């Protein structure tokens, strides 16, 4: 057994001594840990100690403006959902990319007998779409008029996996983490909700049936939200999209390792002439007798407020 992984959940859950072993809560967490370790180690991910991801490089002025002047007892990301925090953790460790697509796969796993014992499993894959944009320009513009590759973003396609849970005052305390680089061939074959993940066409979901939705009401985020091109960051868009989808609350969903509860795709400046952030979410496991899937969109162009819309797919 990987002792680093074991120690991570032991610290999170307080698993130590015979008293903890007899606690239903701790016993439930130990059972969830079996799924967590399988998730974090799958598909070639290399385990990374969680405490190495949440140091000064993460809690920096760059990521959390005003961090040095904070007087609050809690950390600035204590109230963040697992999805938004996962993107921030990835971005703090990887090179910045001006043209990127994020595919986020999310499931929750809660004990049936002890609902307070719960895990969030987040898989974030960031695809570097900069080279595809440059190659597309070279087909119609003379080479001398196209910027060097560095201007379009240089960096690998990467996949990060995180296991999170409420602990120590944080909504998404980090239990496990793992990283894997995605090959170019894998990236070309990857699907992002109906579009190739390296495509310059942003996925948009079903063609019809969308209904406008009000923007969620949120306090200003504690993390840096705007990009240099005038649109929101992927983390900012994810926070708003997730809040929009869970405004009426979210009951625990039955965990199925082969069927993700949610899939999201966020496309940052991947196509078109204007800077934009296109975000699309799909909930595939719905506890409703009449609804089988729920789609939600968030679309933002530089200088214009983001627009939201939702589509409910009926069961047949």
Q: Which of 31, 34, 37 is nearest to 4 (CA)?
A: 37
31 — phi, psi (to 5°)? Answer: -70, -40
Listed in sequence order, the residues at least 6 apart from 273 whose beta carbon sits closer than 8 Å to its beta carbon are none
pLDDT above 80: residue 15: no
Q: State the average pLDDT for the chain.
A: 90
What's the rounded mean pLDDT across residues 202-220?
94
Q: Which among 242, 241, 127, 131 has a CA at the least distance from the CA of 191?
A: 127
What percent of the chain is predicted at pLDDT more than 90?
75
Least reliable range by pLDDT among 61-70, 186-195, 285-294? 61-70
pLDDT at 73: 73
Alpha-carbon distance of 173 to 165, in angstroms, equals 5
Least Cα distance to 202 among 139, 303, 280 occurs for 280
Long-range contacts of 25-32 (CB under 8 A, 24+ apart): 25/114, 25/116, 25/117, 27/114, 28/111, 28/113, 28/114, 28/117, 29/111, 29/117, 29/165, 31/111, 32/109, 32/111, 32/117, 32/118, 32/119
pLDDT reported for residue 249:
80
Taking the CB of residue 185, how many other CB atoms lie within 10 A of it?
8
pLDDT at 192: 98
In the chain, where are the structural domains located?
44-314
Is the pLDDT assigned to residue 190 strictly greater than 60? yes
Please tell me the number of Cα atoms within 13 Å of 296 on its side-chain side: 25
């Amino acid at each position: 057994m990987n002792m680093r992984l074991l120690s991570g959940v032991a610290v999170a859950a307080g698993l130590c001594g015979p008293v903890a072993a007899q606690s239903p809560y701790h016993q439930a967490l130990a059972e969830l840990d079996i799924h967590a370790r399988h998730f974090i180690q799958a598909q070639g991910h290399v385990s990374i100690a969680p405490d190495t991801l949440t140091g000064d490089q993460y809690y920096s002025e760059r990521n959390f403006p005003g961090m040095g002047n904070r007087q609050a007892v809690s950390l600035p990301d204590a109230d963040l959902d697992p999805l938004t925090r996962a993107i921030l953790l990835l971005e703090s460790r990887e090179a910045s990319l001006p043209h990127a697509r994020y595919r986020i796969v999310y499931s929750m796993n809660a004990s049936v007998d002890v609902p307070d014992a719960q895990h969030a499993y987040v898989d974030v894959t960031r695809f570097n779409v900069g080279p595809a944009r440059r190659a597309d320009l070279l087909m119609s513009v003379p080479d001398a008029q196209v910027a060097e590759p560095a201007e379009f973003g240089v960096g690998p396609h990467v996949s990060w996996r995180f296991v999170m849970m409420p602990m120590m005052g944080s909504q998404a305390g980090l239990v496990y983490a793992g990283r894997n680089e995605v090959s170019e061939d894998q990236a070309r074959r990857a699907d992002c909700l109906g579009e190739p993940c390296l495509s310059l066409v942003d996925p948009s979901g079903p063609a019809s049936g969308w209904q406008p939705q009000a923007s969620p009401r949120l306090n200003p985020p504690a993390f840096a939200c705007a990009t240099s091109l005038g649109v929101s960051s992927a983390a900012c868009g994810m926070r708003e999209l997730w809040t929009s989808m869970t405004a009426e609350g979210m009951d625990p969903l039955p965990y199925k390792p082969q069927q993700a509860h949610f899939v999201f795709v966020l496309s940052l400046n991947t196509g078109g002439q204007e800077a934009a952030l296109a975000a699309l979410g799909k909930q595939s496991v719905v506890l409703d007798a009449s609804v089988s899937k729920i789609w939600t969109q968030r679309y933002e162009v530089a200088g214009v407020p983001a627009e939201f819309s939702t589509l409910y797919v009926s069961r047949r």
